[in-house]
């Protein structure tokens, strides 16, 4: 029921509402965690995406989702922060 409603919201262009519904659905259907993680990542809720990624039961799907998450995170960091000495943890 929740996944059907989530797909309806997704089709209506409301990915955040759909992600929240998939998250709720994952409490009884762990496979919905993957869809929630993907949607949270797509709307920029990276912390929530990482949390939902941890809930994914299938290890292959979890790894693929984590890889996409870290690619998104990497893409969201401005290039100026990647210059030598300005990235967190880099030598000054």
Tell me whether residue 36 is in a domain.
yes
Residues 6+ apart with CB under 8 A from 9: 15, 17, 18, 21
Q: Show the domain range for 23.
A: 2-69
pLDDT, tens only, 57-75? 888 888 877 777 777 766 6
Residue 76: inside a domain, yes or no? Answer: no
- Residue 37 in any domain: the answer is yes
- Exposure pattern of 44-82 as b/e (b: 16+ CB <10 Å)? ebeebbbebbebbeeeeebeebbebbeeeeeeeeeeeee
The answer to whether residue 92 sits within a structural domain is: no
For the stretch 7-43, pLDDT in tens is: 999 999 999 999 999 999 999 999 899 999 999 989 9
Count of structural domains within the chain: 1
Kindly state whether residue 90 falls inside one of the protein's structural domains: no
Closest by alpha carbon to 45, among 70, 16, 66? 16
Strands of 1-92 (E only): list them.
Answer: none
Res 81: pLDDT: 66
| Inside any domain, residue 75 | no
| Residue 80 is assigned to a structural domain of this protein | no
The reply to whether 89 falls in a domain is: no
């Amino acid at each position: 029921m929740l996944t059907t409603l989530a797909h309806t919201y997704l089709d209506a262009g409301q990915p955040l509402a759909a992600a929240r519904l998939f998250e709720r659905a994952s409490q009884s259907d762990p496979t919905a965690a993957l869809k929630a993680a993907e949607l949270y990542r797509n709307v920029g809720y990276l912390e929530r995406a990482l949390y939902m990624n941890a809930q994914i039961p299938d290890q292959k799907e979890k790894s693929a989702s984590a890889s996409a998450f870290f690619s998104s995170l990497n893409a969201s960091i401005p290039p100026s922060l990647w210059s030598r000495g300005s990235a967190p943890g880099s030598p000054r």
